[in-house]
Amino acid sequence: MIKPHGSDQLNPLFVYDDVQHRALTHEAASLPSMMLSSAAAANAVMMGSGYFNPLTGYMNLADALGAAEHMKTASGLFFPVPVLNLTSDISAIKGHKRIALRDPNVEGNPVLAVMDVQAIEEVSEDQMRLMTEKVYRTTDPVHPGVAAFNSAGRYAVSGPIKVLSFSYFLSEFPDTFRTAVEIRNEIAERGWNKVVAFQTRNPMHRAHEELCHMAMDRLGADGLVIHMLLGKLKEGDIPAPVRDACIRKMVELYFKPNSAMVTGYGFDMLYAGPREAVLHALFRQNMGATHFIIGRDHAGVGDYYGPFDAQSIFDEVPKGALLIEMFMADNTAWSKKLGKVVMMREAPNHTKEDFITLSGTKVREMLSRGEAPPPEFSRPEVAKILSGYYQSISKA
C-alpha cells in the first residue's frame, strides 16, 4: 500500500489505549483550558484521524509562515497550508505548559484534546495578511475561508496534542465518518491496490458519477473512495446528511459491488482552491489512495480562482513531495451528439448547445418546485432525495 506522507507508518494522534485515554480525560478536568475555534477543532480531528500525518500538533508561527509562503515548514516538511490554533484570548492559559482544548461544536464544550504548549506567539497584521494572500490568493473579507481564518484571533498556540474525541462527527455520521486508519484498513480488506479518491462537498450529479467511472476505467483502478466533507460549510451548501443519502443511493444503483466506498471526514471547508486541492491530495495519500481526481474549480468558491488553477498548482509541488498521483479532469457534461457524459475537451465539433448543462440556481429552482432535472443531468433517484430537501426548506 502507498506510504503515508512524511513517515513509513501512519501516526494518528487519537489516544486509542483505554487506560491512557481515561487517565488523560481525568487529568484534563483539572487543566487550564481554552475554547478552540471551529477550524482549530477540525484540525485536531484531522490530526487525530491521521489525515494530517506526520504533524504532531499545531504549527508554530515559523512553520505556519513557511507552509503559507513555500509549502514547507521550517524543518523542510512539505505541507501546503498552515495548521494553526488561533485564539483572541490567552488569559486562561498564559504561563501554563499543559492545557485542555475544548470543543466549540458540541454541547457542554467537552475536552477534545490535551496539549503541551511549546509557544504562544502574537501574529502581526502583516503576517496574517501574508498567510491569507498565499493560501487564499485574496484578502477579500467576503471570501468565506478568508473570513473564518481572520476572525479566529491573533495568538497562535502551538505544540503537540493528544486527541481524545472525534467531536460530533462520530455520533452524527456513524455510518460515514472514517479515520485515515480505518480507510487504509478497509482498502486492505477489500484487496484493492490501485485506489482512486473523489472529493465532494455536494451531492454527486450524473457528470460526477461518470467522471469517477472514467477515472477508474482509464487507470485500471480496483476501487473508488468517495470521500465527502462532513464539517462546516458556507451558508447555502447542502447539509451532509442529505448529501450522504444522495451519494449512497447513487452507489447502490450505479456502481458494481465492492467497487466504491462511501466515506467522510471531519474538516471545515477552507474554500482555498488550489492550495486546498494540494491539501486534499496529501490527506488522500494518508488514507491510502494512489490516485486523486482534481476537477474543474476544485475547492473553489465564487470567481476567486481560475477553472484549472487547482490543477496547475501541482506544477509547483516539488517532485517526490507527494506519492499520490493526480487524475486531471475537465468539466464533464452530457453530450446530445454522443448520447453520453464526456469530458468537454474530449468532445470535438461540439458547441455549448450540444451539452446539457444547468446552473446550480436553475437546478435548485426546479427541485424546489418538485420538478426533476433531466435524467442526463441527475439520476432520478438522487433528484427525488434532493427535491424532498429543497421543498422542505422552501416551506419552512
> Which residues are known catalytic residues?
201-202
Neighbours of 285 (CB within 10 A): 25
Q: Which three cell numbers stand for residue 395?
A: 416551506
Q: Are 131 and 272 in contact (CB under 8 A)?
A: no
What's at 302, amino acid-wise? G
> What are the CA-CA distances from residue 147 to residues 151, 208, 218, 271, 272 (Å)?
6, 29, 40, 11, 12
Q: Are 385 and 249 in contact (CB under 8 A)?
A: yes
Q: Are 263 and 226 in contact (CB under 8 A)?
A: yes
- Per-residue three-class SS string for 131-175: HHHHHHCCCCCCCHHHHHHHCCCCEEEEEEEEECCCCCHHHHCCC
The maximal CA–CA distance of the chain, rounded, in angstroms, is 70
Rounded to 10 deg, the angle between the 360-368 and 380-395 helix axes is 70
Cell 443511493 sits on residue: 249
Distance CA 396, CA 134 (A): 40
Q: Are 74 and 62 in contact (CB under 8 A)?
A: yes
